[in-house]
Each structure stands twice: as structure tokens, then as C-alpha cells.
């Protein structure tokens, strides 16, 4: 069973065996299901929550508008006592979040009812041989994401969304993991929690933090999650200005 990555095609196990796998990009089913916007950033705007306007001035204005959420999200995810739960941990009934060690322990995955394994970190975090997952009835998808602040993690959501949805609709569970179970897989888990449960973004990251402990510390990924929330009318109430002023950078 060959390894597939989302830079070319979604895992063929999602498709009918007689059909080719679904291609990722603007025509991917995830774009319609989640209302993703692949329009150019310099265009008129970002969905129902209000776009960033035209050009650098519009982007700067939008960044300023979203600053209270950025500060509040960063504070929420940076709080706590640093305790770590046992992994994998449950984010939603159909979604578990784990690390490389979680993905390598096939008996535990079977016991937890995992039917889909989504590796968000590429070859560096492959937990088991792909054919080993297949022998246990698990489908596998590998994303080639990087854990750096400037990396556009949201580009992988078009591949991740239908894979996670397939697990849910089949009554199974998807383990999403990366190397540490913190940033790349944390972003995927947070996005699924946000969009599937239709939660305001601060509530979504609060729930993520409660379940996982230290998670999603990459501030670039935090920014992208806030922009997804904006595009889906899931920002919620503006955090109080004194909150941002007291706890900002």
C-alpha cells in the first residue's frame, strides 16, 4: 500500500476502489463542505466574517481588528501548569490527538477503535509502516507540513477534512498526530473542533487546551485558526480591550 500525501492526492482509501482518489485544491469536497475560501489574499475578502480588504493597507487593518483575539488565544494556550495528559487524548468522539509514540502503538489504536490515522508531519513522524496500518483495517493519510511560524498550515485542511469526515461518517475514529502532538496535529484538531462543533474560537482553544495540555504554541498557526474562525463567523464576542492590554505582548 503506497504512501499518499496531500500535496498530490487524498488517500485512495477514501475513494471507491474503482475510482481515482480525490484531488486536493479548490475543487476538493472539503472546500464545499467547510466553505473554505481559496481566493487570493489581496482580493475583496474573507467570507462571512468580513474580509481583509484590498492590498497591504487592508491586511494591516484586518490584523489590527483581529488583535484582541490573537492576544486572547495566545494567553489561553500559554496558560496552565504545563501538565501533560496521557496520549492520545480525545478532542471529539471521532477525533484523537497524539504524538509519534501514539501512532506507533498499534494495539492501543485498535483498542481505542481508531480506523483512520492522519500524520500531519510527513516522513519524520511516521508511526508505523503503512501496510501495518492496513493489516489492522486502518486508513492512512500523510501531510507534508512544517512546524515553523511562517508556514501556511491551512493549505493542508482540504486534504485533512474529508479524511476526518470519512472516519466520523463510518462510525470510526481518526488519530491525528505529528512528532510531538502539539503544533501541526494541534492545528488540525483545533480546526476540526472549531468547524464541526461550531464553537467560538476562544471556546475551541480552551477545550483543546483542557484536553491536550500544552498545545498549538506556534503563533502563526494560532493566527490562521483565528482567520478560519473569522471566515466562518466563529470569532465570538470581541475579547475586552483591558484583557488584551493587560495580557498582550
Q: Is residue 93 part of a domain?
A: yes
**Closest by CA position to 219, among listed 176, 186, 181, 177:** 186
Q: Is residue 19 part of a domain?
A: no
Whose grid coordinates read 512528532?
179
Q: Is the pLDDT of residue 242 over 70?
A: no
Q: Is residue 18 part of a domain?
A: no
Number of domains in the chain: 1
What is the spatial distance between Cα 98 and Cα 115, in angstroms, rounded to a whole number?
14
- What CATH number did the domain enclosing 144 receive? 3.90.190.10
Give SS3 for 54. Answer: coil
Q: Is residue 13 part of a domain?
A: no
How would you class 144 by CB atoms within 10 Å of its CB: exposed for 0-12, middle for 13-18, buried for 19 or more?
middle
Q: Is residue 149 part of a domain?
A: yes
**For residues 176 and 21, which has the higher predicted lDDT (pLDDT)?**
176
How would you class 161 by CB atoms within 10 Å of its CB: exposed for 0-12, middle for 13-18, buried for 19 or more?
buried
Q: Is residue 54 part of a domain?
A: yes
Is residue 89 annotated as a catalytic residue, yes or no?
no
Q: Is residue 2 part of a domain?
A: no
Give pLDDT tens digits for 141-189: 999 999 999 999 999 999 999 999 999 999 999 999 999 999 999 999 9
Give pLDDT tens digits for 134-143: 999 999 999 9
Q: Which three cell numbers stand for residue 15?
A: 475513494
Segment 45-54 shows an average pLDDT of 45
Q: Is residue 1 part of a domain?
A: no
Segment 3-8 shows an average pLDDT of 46
Give pLDDT tens digits for 57-100: 788 899 899 999 999 999 999 976 777 899 999 999 999 999 99
Query: Which range marks the domain in which residue 98 is found?
Result: 24-247
Within 51-183, residue ranges assigned H as helices are 55-78, 100-104, 106-111, 130-135, 157-169
Active-site choice (105, 174, 178, 246):
178
Provide the pLDDT for residue 186.
98
Amino acid at each position: 500500500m503506497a504512501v499518499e500525501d496531500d500535496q498530490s492526492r487524498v488517500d485512495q482509501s477514501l475513494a471507491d476502489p474503482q475510482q481515482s482518489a480525490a484531488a486536493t485544491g479548490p475543487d476538493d469536497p472539503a472546500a464545499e463542505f467547510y466553505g473554505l475560501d481559496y481566493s487570493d489574499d489581496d482580493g475583496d475578502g474573507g467570507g462571512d466574517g468580513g474580509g481583509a480588504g484590498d492590498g497591504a493597507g487592508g491586511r494591516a487593518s484586518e490584523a489590527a481588528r483581529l488583535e484582541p483575539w490573537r492576544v486572547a488565544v495566545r494567553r489561553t494556550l500559554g496558560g496552565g501548569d504545563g501538565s501533560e495528559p496521557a496520549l492520545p487524548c480525545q478532542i471529539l468522539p471521532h477525533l484523537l490527538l497524539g504524538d509519534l509514540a501514539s501512532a506507533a502503538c498499534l494495539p492501543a489504536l485498535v483498542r481505542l477503535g481508531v480506523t483512520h490515522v492522519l500524520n500531519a508531519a510527513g516522513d519524520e513522524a511516521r508511526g508505523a509502516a503503512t501496510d501495518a496500518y492496513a493489516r489492522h483495517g486502518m486508513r492512512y493519510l500523510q501531510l507534508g507540513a512544517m512546524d515553523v511560524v511562517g508556514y501556511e498550515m491551512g493549505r493542508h485542511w482540504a486534504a485533512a477534512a474529508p479524511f476526518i469526515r470519512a472516519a466520523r461518517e463510518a462510525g470510526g475514529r481518526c488519530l491525528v498526530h505529528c512528532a510531538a502532538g502539539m503544533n501541526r496535529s494541534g492545528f488540525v484538531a483545533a480546526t476540526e473542533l472549531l468547524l464541526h462543533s461550531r464553537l467560538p474560537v476562544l471556546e475551541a482553544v480552551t477545550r483543546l487546551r483542557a484536553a491536550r495540555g500544552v498545545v498549538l504554541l506556534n503563533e502563526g498557526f494560532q493566527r490562521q485558526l483565528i482567520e478560519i474562525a473569522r471566515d466562518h463567523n466563529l470569532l465570538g464576542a470581541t475579547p475586552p480591550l483591558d484583557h488584551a492590554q493587560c495580557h498582550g505582548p
